Chains A and B, each alone.
Chain A
């Protein structure tokens, strides 16, 4: 999602799981290999198909899809109304359909209401529009406190929600999936959807941040 050069250089470096490709294979790595070999030998799985699944979720499904939905809503009032009324159909009209997006609701952030999405019980997340969830979304710190201290959680992401705003937390306990429609940043009136799409971060569509400002984009954040 970033346009700044110099990123994506952390090859083989991992923040979340403590794995590092330069080390000898870990126990879990060997165990996963062993299970896959067994499944392939038994005829239960095809390794090329597994490759294809991985490739699809690494390269084809991701938050760019959701950003396109949001940018369209910011620029077309008719689409925005449809999105808020029948998100499943409006999102499907852009071609973003599939597993973990069977039923959708879009939550509109306003001057008075800020929405935040969590899944306290597992990791439910709208795959067709956001891709697979980041590590923090699936982690115990986020899942435990998002419902009891949402403002504190949002502050941890460097975002301040005014005291005058109501914070609504949506716990994804069913197969309904939620996408936040962030507020359009000031100073972007008249921008095209193609320009606006770069302001729509993944985190703003979960509700832990607001959309990027034009200044942030210019400074390469």
Chain B
């Protein structure tokens, strides 16, 4: 979807003003850590995946997405995920009072302290085979399709309609446009190089390029 999260090439956000690396804490307030921890704990329940999480954050009204701090966006996304997975009701969120306790089956998946210590080591499945052969090979010229799905996609707007060259075939990864809809399917993934001039016009720096990872569905060739 063409949401506020798709920021590549936008202007007007001002300078970066980075904090000094030696002084920046991991979390800037206790609640940020809680939101991060809640998100990881709920993720362990297996009721959604990373693309659903991203899609939940992206679906906010653009003005809210931009106004919110990073972890406020996560917080909002968690509410959407909980409601859509049927883990809590709107009444429970409003009142703060649980109307029921979760099933034993679900309780068996609740993140324990012991499991939490292993959380950083737990790898998500990102690779899934696609039996079809890859359509492109390194060096092929490809066009990022001008497509505007109303649901989640990882094809940024600033690349659509522009030509690039396949830099590397990354094998097959889960296709986020479908994973975000709950369908797990592998698809060929490519790293594609786009010249700055192709993306930003004649005034662009001639000695820079953007590399982006794009699934086969996002690409077409001149054939």
Contacts and interface: CB of A to CB of B under 8 A. Distances in A.
A139 B32 CA distance: 15
Contacts, number: 307
Interface string A164-180: 11111111111110000
Contact of B189 (A62, A174, A203): A174
A17 B28 contact: yes
A24 to B, nearest CB: 13
Given A151-B208, A169-B208, A173-B156, A50 B37 contact: yes
B209 A121 contact: no
B220 to A, nearest CB: 17
A53 B211 CA distance: 33
A17 B87 CA distance: 30
B46 interface: no
B117 A42 contact: no
Given A57-B36, A144-B10, A166-B208, A122 B26 contact: no
Interface string B108-149: 001111011101111110110000000000000000000000
B31 A29 contact: yes
A140 B123 contact: no
Interface residues of B, number: 97
Contacts of A80: none
A38, A61, A157 — most chain B CB neighbours (10 Å): A38
Contacts of B14: 141
B123 A102 contact: yes
Contact of B15 (A57, A146, A156, A167): A156
Interface of B: 5-11, 13-19, 21-38, 40-42, 45, 50, 54, 57, 66, 69-72, 75, 78-79, 87-88, 92-93, 96-98, 100-102, 106-107, 110-113, 115-117, 119-124, 126-127, 154-156, 158, 170, 173-174, 176, 189, 191, 199-200, 204-205, 207-215
Interface of A: 1-2, 4, 7-8, 10, 14-17, 19, 21, 26, 28-29, 31-39, 41-46, 48-54, 56-58, 60-62, 97-99, 101-103, 120-123, 127-128, 131-132, 134-136, 138-151, 153, 156-157, 163-176, 201-203, 208
